[in-house]
Amino acid sequence: MTVESALRGAAPHLLLDSLRTSLAQQYAAYSADLLLIDYGFTSLRPVRPVQARTGVRPVPVDAGTAGRAFRTQQPYLFRDDGLTATVFLPVTVRGDRLGVLVVLLPGDRATGATVQSLGRVAETLGHALCVAERHTDLYRSTRRTRPLTLAGEMQWDTLAGRACTGPAFDLHAHWEPAYGSGGHLLDWSVTEDELLLVVADGAGPGTPAALVSTLALSAIRNARRAGLDLVGQASLTDQALYGQYRGTSPLAALLMRLDLATGATEVVDAGSPSLWRTRGTGTERIALDRQLPLGMFEDTVYATQRLRLLPGDRFVVVAREPGRPRPGGTGGVPDGAVARAVSRAARLGCADVPRAVVRALREPPGGVPDTALVVCLDWHGAADGRPEPPASGG
């Protein structure tokens, strides 16, 4: 039986036990440990099934060999003493970084071909984890350095995740507080032809805000899955929020559709988070036609605005907690602070941008709010080899 077959047949809470047995049989592995990234993206934490207690401790994500494999998304082979070797393998599913698989091998088995083969095992393990999480709390519990608030639990259960990648694009996100909730909304859907994305400012802290964003997210998904366009999605969500809250809990949101073949982009700005574009060496805020937030008034009419991405362009969406806007800014944060944060992160890879921007915005001085959601979208160009049409529009 292959390792992949063993993982598919294992009980959800016994994935690691099954993996260890298979790796021992097929690679003569002495041990295998799985380190999962915590919700705050600060440490890699070992999975400890009852049947296989280990002495492995959490390790910081910004240091050490495991952290290096996680950050670079490259396998790393460390020869311990000539007799053994340790392989560190990133566990990632479609760009969403879950953790690192650590395998201890005999020194003579640690070849390039073995590392490559174990890389495929780590990829299969990632997919198995995504399925297993539906049936056991083991892996979600492992990812906590401290308890989640009830609102935080609701947010993690409803949001799509932190990343999604495809041949034509990379999409990564990071939000704080990780163990509480700012009431943010984030969702996406990908087909062969398009990427649909929605990002919303925080509705505020606590369970009431989480309930607002959960209702909005369900309404958007319902409209999207029914085949409605961006205007239809915004309108249905607007009606759902107004029907429930009568204008007392509006949600500022940005809805976007990206044509993956051409870069043509449609946007509905419903009082939305700020949208920034990096093109070449320049970063600028995109001026959008701001419309009313979702759920503020009954039967609000929304319209789309057309933009254009060129190959190599980057969009950064910055969502903040609600607040009284300052001149030249939104969500209580001046544009200058956001522009500096986005510009400083311009040379980073897409996966590292959201965390870097969130960190910059939370640094003193300035007293900026602690709640932030940052989404980075890199568009590489048409994935099917078709020539790009002439650029037009914004």
Query: What is the pLDDT of the chain when averaged over all its residues?
Result: 90
pLDDT of residue 306: 97
The per-residue pLDDT for range 333-357, each reduced to its tens digit, is 568 889 999 999 999 999 999 999 9
Q: How confident is the model at residue 389 (pLDDT cuts 50, 70, 90)?
A: very low
Domains of the chain: 3-142 (3.30.450.40), 150-379 (3.60.40.10)
What mean pLDDT comes out for the span 269-279? 95
Q: How confident is the model at residue 81 (pLDDT cuts 50, 70, 90)?
A: confident
User: Between 368 and 192, whose confidence is greater?
Assistant: 192
In terms of Cα–Cα distance, which of 273, 258, 278, 262 is closest to 349? 278
pLDDT higher than threshold 60 for residue 117: yes
Question: Contact at 8 Å (CB) between 101 and 46?
Answer: no
Please give the Cα distance from 322 to 43 (Å, whole number): 29
Q: Which residues contact 196 (CB under 8 A, 6 or more apart)?
A: 188, 189, 190, 224, 230, 255, 256, 257, 258
- Rounded to an integer, what is the distance from CA 121 to the centroid of its chain? 23
Question: Contact at 8 Å (CB) between 205 and 183?
Answer: yes
CA gyration radius for the chain? Answer: 22
pLDDT higher than threshold 70 for residue 75: yes
What mean pLDDT comes out for the span 226-231? 98
The per-residue pLDDT for range 149-166, each reduced to its tens digit, is 999 999 999 999 899 999
pLDDT higher than threshold 90 for residue 392: no
Question: Contact at 8 Å (CB) between 253 and 293?
Answer: yes
Q: Which residues contact 206 (CB under 8 A, 6 or more apart)?
A: 149, 151, 181, 183
pLDDT of residue 335: 80
pLDDT of residue 364: 61
The per-residue pLDDT for range 236-253, each reduced to its tens digit, is 999 999 999 999 999 999
Distances (CA, A) of 181 to 150, 156, 237, 373: 9, 9, 21, 11
Q: Which residues contact 174 (CB under 8 A, 6 or more apart)?
A: 41, 162, 354, 355, 358, 373, 374
Taking the whole predicted model, whether its pTM rises above 0.85 is answered as yes
Amino acid at 365: P
Q: What is the percent of the chain where pLDDT is above 70?
A: 90
pLDDT of residue 66: 96
pLDDT of residue 322: 59
What mean pLDDT comes out for the span 79-108? 95
Question: Contact at 8 Å (CB) between 200 and 184?
Answer: yes
The per-residue pLDDT for range 284-315, each reduced to its tens digit, is 999 999 999 999 999 899 999 999 999 999 99
pLDDT of residue 200: 95
DSSP secondary structure of 175-231: EE-SSS----EEEEEE-SSEEEEEEE----SHHHHHHHHHHHHHHHHHHHHTT--HH
Q: How confident is the model at residue 394 (pLDDT cuts 50, 70, 90)?
A: very low
